[in-house]
Structure 1
Amino acid sequence: MSGHGFHVHGPHDHAMEHVAHGGGHHDDEGMASQLAVITAVLATVGAIFSYMGGATQANAGLYKNNAAIKKTEASNQWNYYQAKSSKQNLAELALTLVPAAEKDEYQKEITRYKQEKTEIKAAAEKLEQESKDWDKQSDEQMHQHHRWAQATTALQVAIAVAAIALLTKRRWMEWVTIGTGVLGVIIGVLAWLHI
């Protein structure tokens, strides 16, 4: 009928004209689409951060276990050192009590025990240092784990704010979502850089 100067608009045509002229529904749909994409990106990055946090926590536990093993080995060496010291002390006591003909034998034992103690002490100190090194690595991994956890938490908060923004249709909350997400990513970069 439009050929006779009369044109009838259907509901769909009216909606399309409304959207073309900046109607409210189009803006809401655009915001929903943006929030959907933002939420998907945040969830993906959050999953990666969560994995990294779990990995660093596992490493921290393994390193702490290695530290405990080295500490036990060092303790065993110190016990061995103490046993050699006791034997040396007995040999020194015997040196003062035995006849002169037997003193040379006990002096050799004392010298041998001193040499053995020097080697045992060096081994014990090396194991103690290895234990400290493992402890330090464990502490570093725990620090990094906390950073990953902070980054993941910030991203989860951003996703929650995105849901609220979608429900309330508040544009400023979309910006809060983006800001919180950026904060989470920055914290994740700090974790990646071991800061």
Structure 2
Amino acid sequence: MSEAGFHVHGPHEHELEHATQGAHEGAHGAGGGMINQIAMSTAIIATVGAIFGYMGGATQANASLFKNNAAIKKTEASNQWNYFQSKSTKQSLAEVSRDLSPEDKKGVYQAKIDRYEKEKNEIKTVAEGYEKQSLDWDKRSDEQMHQHHRWAQATTVLQVSIALAAIALLTRKKWLEYGMFAMAGAGVVVGVLAALHI
């Protein structure tokens, strides 16, 4: 501004003032309420979607961990069954030896047979316990994967809701805004189903 009160704007100052004034008027004009509502809703939906995404990742990691535990228990059961088989083989050899030996040696072999039978029963109990644990870990893994899929579905529906919000902002169509809220609601419902393990 000069001393006489005369001021000349440069072209960029004029455009900046015009853009600022237009944005200010747009925010408070007819579409401003819709824009603010969609912007705030999108932020909330994105936050909920981030939480759902985290939960989906956590359940997927748990499913993998549980499946690994199931494989470990299955291997331990297999080891026990191999041990059981070795005792069965030794017992069979002791039975053959008993049957082929003279009477005074039969008692020695019968004691071995009885010991192997007792050991086999103990090994069988341990092996069956590992198999039960393996099945339990497998079941838990399957449940976590089901829950992971629910979280992924909920996250996807919320992402579609955010996409509808962007289109609603660009087109200023009220029905798209309603669609955004409907999709967000559906996403939250699926997220609740995931949280409830349904």
- For Structure 1 versus Structure 2, the TM-score category normalised by the shorter chain is 0.7 to 0.9
SS at match of 1:27: coil
Per-residue CA distance 1:45-93 (angstroms, 9 max, x = gap): 0000000000000000000000000000000000000000000000000
Name the structure 2 match of 1:59: 62
Q: Is 1:101 matched with 2:104?
A: yes
- TM-score with structure 2 setting the length: 0.86
* CA RMSD after TM alignment: 1.4
Measured after TM superposition, the shift of residue 26 of structure 1 is 1.9
Tell me the percent identity: 64
Partner of 1:11: none
Q: Deviations over 1:119-159 (max 9, x none)?
A: 00000000000000000000000000000000000000000
Out of 139, 143, 161, the residue aligned to residue 136 of structure 1 is 139
Other-structure match for 2:189 = 186
Q: Distance in 1 between matches of 2:31 and 2:172?
A: 7
Q: Which residue of 1 aligns with 2:150?
A: 147
Distance in 1 between residues matched to 2:112 and 2:126, nearest whole Å: 21
Extract unaligned runs of 5+ from structure 1: 1-14
Unaligned 5+ runs, structure 2: 1-20
Find 1:50's aligned residue among 45, 49, 53.
Answer: 53
Partner of 1:8: none
- Map 1:103-182; keep pairs closer than 5 Å: 103-182=106-185
1:29 Cα deviation (Å)? 1.1
Q: Which residue of 1 aligns with 2:30?
A: 27
Deviation at residue 27 of structure 1 after TM alignment: 2.2
TM-score by length of 1: 0.87
Q: What secondary structure is seen at the aligned counterpart in 1 of 2:30?
A: helix
Corresponding residue for residue 3 of structure 1: none
Residue in structure 2 matched with residue 74 of structure 1 by the alignment: 77
Could you list the structure 1 runs, at least 4 aligned residues long, displaced by more than 4 angstroms after superposition.
none
| 1:92 and 2:95 are equivalent in the alignment | yes
In structure 1, give the amino acid aligned to 2:78: S
Paired AA for residue 127 in structure 2: A
